[in-house]
Each structure stands twice: as C-alpha cells, then as structure tokens.
Structure 1
C-alpha cells in the first residue's frame, strides 16, 4: 500500500511539474513602447509575455536605454518596434544585445505620412493629406532598414520628413496587427490559429471604433476642428478624421520651438479662432500653458500621444486611448 501511494504521489508530482513547465513556456516578446506593447498583447494573449522598453507615460523620443534593456532583448524570442525613425536608439541597442532573432517593424506596409509639405505650407497643413500621401508605400518600402544609418547615439533624435506617429490612424493599426501576427506565427507556428483569430477579432474592434469616432467628430463642424498640442504627434489622426492639429514643436519632443515659431502659432490661433489647446501625457506642458494665457484659449484637457496610461487612468489600452482622446477633443470643441 505504501509503495502504491508513493508511486502515485511521484506521478502526480511529475505531472504537476510538467504542467507548470508548459505553462511557463510563453514567448518572451520585447516591445519598444507601451502602445505597441498593448497591440502585441492583444494578438499574443496567453501565449506571450511582453516587456515594454519605454514604460507607460514614457517618452520614446528622449528614451535612453540601459544595460538591463540590452539584457532583456538578448533573451527575447521576438522584438517588435514601430519603425519610421521613432526609436532612434534601437539599432545600437539590438547590436549591443547581439540579438539574432525575429524583428518585426510594425509599420511595414502602411501609408506613410510626410511632414515636408506641412513644414513648407504650415497654414494649410492638413487640408490635402489624402491626396499627398497616396504613393508613400513605394517611397518607404524598405523602412525596416531605415534606422541603420540614422542613429547618432543620442536619445534626442530627428525624424526627418517622416511622421512616425502612425498608430493614431486606425487604418494603420490594422496593418500593425497583421505584421505582429505574422511575426508571432513565424516564431511560434504551433499557435498560428490562435494568433490569426486574435488578430481578426481585434481588427473587428478597430472597425467599430473607427465608425464611432467618425460619428462623434461629425457632430463638430469641420471649420471648428482646430486644436493645439505640444508636439506634432497627431498628423495621422488629422489626415484620417479631418481635424487640424497645430503644435509649437515638431514631430519629436526632443526638438525645441523657437520664439518666432511660438509667436507665429499664437498669431495663427487668433486668426483661425482655434477653440482648444491640449496638454499631453508625455510632454512638458509649460509652453502650452503660456500659449493658453496669451491667447485666452482654455486648456481642453490632456491627450495621450506616444504612451498609454497606468491601468487606473483612462488610456490603459490602445482602444481606450483612442476613445478617450476623441471624447476629450469633441467635448472641448463643443464648448
């Protein structure tokens, strides 16, 4: 009796250990920043663990990697980044980690937005985006290699004439999801069906959100859809939803607005009768506060541009972030 009981106990222990080991065999995925990390989590779900290099409310523009980040990448099975020069520090970090695994550039295949036209014609920066950018896929088809020769080793970097904030277009995020699913399947083909189903389900949620956003913005006359943000992060949103965004800074928070730029912006705010200025969760908002004081335009709230919020705040996921931003903009423009 004792021998049978002992044998049974050993078998149960073996099964428990085996089950625990299987449960721990999740893919280790590195994401460059929190918004991307959420998208990866939505596709991978229970099959993966995600580590975001730039944490919630963090600014990837001025992020400085640590040796711990290189160590984390060295043990990852998949690395997912935005691309479009957004993470100027990433190429050297991957090199330092000697990472040889799969690297997904989430923006591969999107309709890339150039900022060159806005720099030349700031007064009507968003009026013709749909026509201006129809052919950018061909121009940027190799942007998975785009960082290789642009990293100068500094945290502050310039995005050139490319706007990297592509996640503010739901249409683009559908491409992100496709690329993420493809990368996960490449690394973990055994769970292909799950990744494909998760991606399909999430894209359906994006479709519903897109319809809702369009309906909400339709309640605001197009002539009133003009807002100010600290840095130029909402170009794709502007293009897709016909909202004009003006900003004292360029597409990187690492850039500085000149006194002439600020003066010109204040003049334009008064001329165009802009209704709202907004703070950002990642930005130094002192300049926005100054602009609000000088123009008399009230601060309409805080927008989430380049990072998600903590779970107890309103932008803990991509879907929540987009909905919160739209609610905040629409509420401010209705006042």
Structure 2
C-alpha cells in the first residue's frame, strides 16, 4: 500500500472511531448536513430551512480544487445525517476519504446535462462548474429536496415549500443575468477568464468563451495557453478580461497588457465570500458576476 493510501485509510479509521464517540448533532440539536464547499452549502441551507443544520467543509475564499480534508473534516462527515457533494469531479478529493463512511450522500449535479471541457489535459471530461447556471441549480434543489425528505420524512412539506420558493428566486436571478448580459454588444460577447468555469453560464447566455486553463487544478499557464488567449482577445478586440477570486490574476494581467484589454474585475465561482464580502450567498455570486461581466464588456460602471 502506498504512503498516501495508507495515510488516507488511517485518517478515515481514526475519524470513524472519533465520530463513534461524538453526537451527530451540533448544540442546535438539529441533524447535520455537511456540504463539500460553501456555494453548495448555501443552496443546501436554503432548501433545509430551519429543520437541518448545514455546514461547509471548506471555508469562505478557499480554493476547492485539490483541497485536502483534515481529520476534523472527516470526523464531521462521519457524524453527519447527510453528506452533500457537487460531483463531476470537482470534489473528488472528498470521495477518496469518505468511501468507507456510512453517512447517506447526495450528488447535486446528478441529472444535469454536462458540458464537456474542450481543451487541455481535461478535454472531453465534464466541466464540473454546473452551479454557474441558475437553470442547472434548480436540479440541485430538486436533488436536495428528495435527499432531505428521505432522511426526514416528517419535513417533506416544508422541504417542498422551501425548494419551490428558492427555485422562484433562482428564476428571478436567471432573468437578471440574461438582462445584464443582453446589454453586451454582439461583437464583444465573449468571456475571457483564468479558469474555464463559466461554460454553463456562457451556454445559457450565448456568450463566447475563452480561458487560460480548464480547471484550477492546473493553475500554471503554459506559453501556448497564454499565446492562444492573447490572440483570441486581440483578434476579436475584446475590451475586457477577468479572473477568479481563488487564484492569482498575474497571468491574466499579462494577457491584458499584451492584448490591450482591461482586467475588468474579479469573478466568483468556487467559493463564497465571508458575510461582509461581495458574495455571501450563491444568488449574490451570480448577480455579482453577471454585473461585473456586463460592465467590463460594455465599458459601463457595475451596478
């Protein structure tokens, strides 16, 4: 057995032993739902309402690609009533350490039509960032409602009401997204980012897409990737480029300088901000990104 595998097995074993001695509820007395990262934890909390206590493994601002769970993370998962993950590979790091745990699990992207990654080492694999489409997020909500009802049948009516209410809010923010991006001129309708995290959003809104690397597991821009992005921006006279909050924007600054575009703002994808930051909720994240993109590509001030 290799050292990483042996370490992982020992970690799980220790966590399970500790979890056996721990109550599966926090001081609130509510059943615990553990989500792998903050974005889906927020969606999960909206469907849970006041019947369940939802926690995120990763903290606000964390880079979720390649995250390494701690013994405390595994212990929390072992004591949970439900574990919530995104799927499509983005939180596969959690699968490695929870395969032998007995907590029920729901994969929120089940039922979403995946968008394949078009280039790079991940070409042909599904793009994991399905939550960047409010339309796809409705599938997440339905999966949560069914999972919650399975572990807490007495709350079925409340979970259905919460899900219906949240889906109405998703449709409202989807309409805002479309309206904001409709203002972008036809010849400037292309989104250039560090990570290829916006394929579901660009599919929904008819934007073109160009990125440096497909997923943040790479984070190292090759000369070919840089040259390709510079040519794309220069050839199409794209006025603005963007980068995400959880990675360095240094490569995109270089692309902006070489192409004559502006680095027009920070987008949020993999993590929410803290409560006092710009995107404390998933709906805030979608609104912020839509307004930042529209303002950058039209040259107007973000609302």
Given the two structures, how large is their TM-score scaled by the length of structure 1?
0.78
Q: Does residue 281 of structure 1 match 2:283?
A: no
Q: Does residue 269 of structure 1 match 2:233?
A: yes
Cα RMSD of the aligned pairs, angstroms, is 1.9
Look up the SS of the partner of 2:57 in the other structure. strand
Look up the SS of the partner of 1:50 in the other structure. strand
Give the 4+ runs in structure 1 shifted more than 2 A. Answer: 157-160, 251-257
Q: Which has the higher helix share?
A: 1
CA distance change for structure 1 residues 100 and 238 in 2, over 3 Å: closer, same or farther? same
Q: Where do 5+ consecutive residues of structure 2 fail to align?
A: 1-24
> 1:171: Cα distance to partner?
1.1
> 1:61: Cα distance to partner?
0.5
Q: Does residue 176 of structure 1 match 2:127?
A: no
Counterpart Cα distance in 2 of 1:190 and 1:107: 25
Aligned positions of 1:10-29 closer than 5 A? 24-29=28-33
Counterpart Cα distance in 2 of 1:66 and 1:159: 30
| Residue 64 (structure 2) aligns with | 60
| Residue 259 (structure 2) aligns with | 295
| Residue 44 (structure 1) aligns with | 48
Any conservation in 2 of the 1:224–1:275 contact (CA below 8 Å)?
yes
> 1:24: Cα distance to partner?
3.2
Alignment coverage as a number of residue pairs: 275
Q: Does residue 71 of structure 1 match 2:35?
A: no
| Residue 280 (structure 2) aligns with | 316
Q: 101, 104, 107: which one pairs with 1:105?
A: 107
Q: 78, 82, 86: which one pairs with 1:82?
A: 86
> 1:326: Cα distance to partner?
0.6
Counterpart Cα distance in 1 of 2:73 and 2:122: 22
| Residue 140 (structure 1) aligns with | none
CA distance change for structure 1 residues 240 and 330 in 2, over 3 Å: closer, same or farther? same
Larger radius of gyration: 1
> 1:101: Cα distance to partner?
2.2
Given the two structures, how large is their TM-score scaled by the length of structure 2?
0.86
> 1:262: Cα distance to partner?
0.7
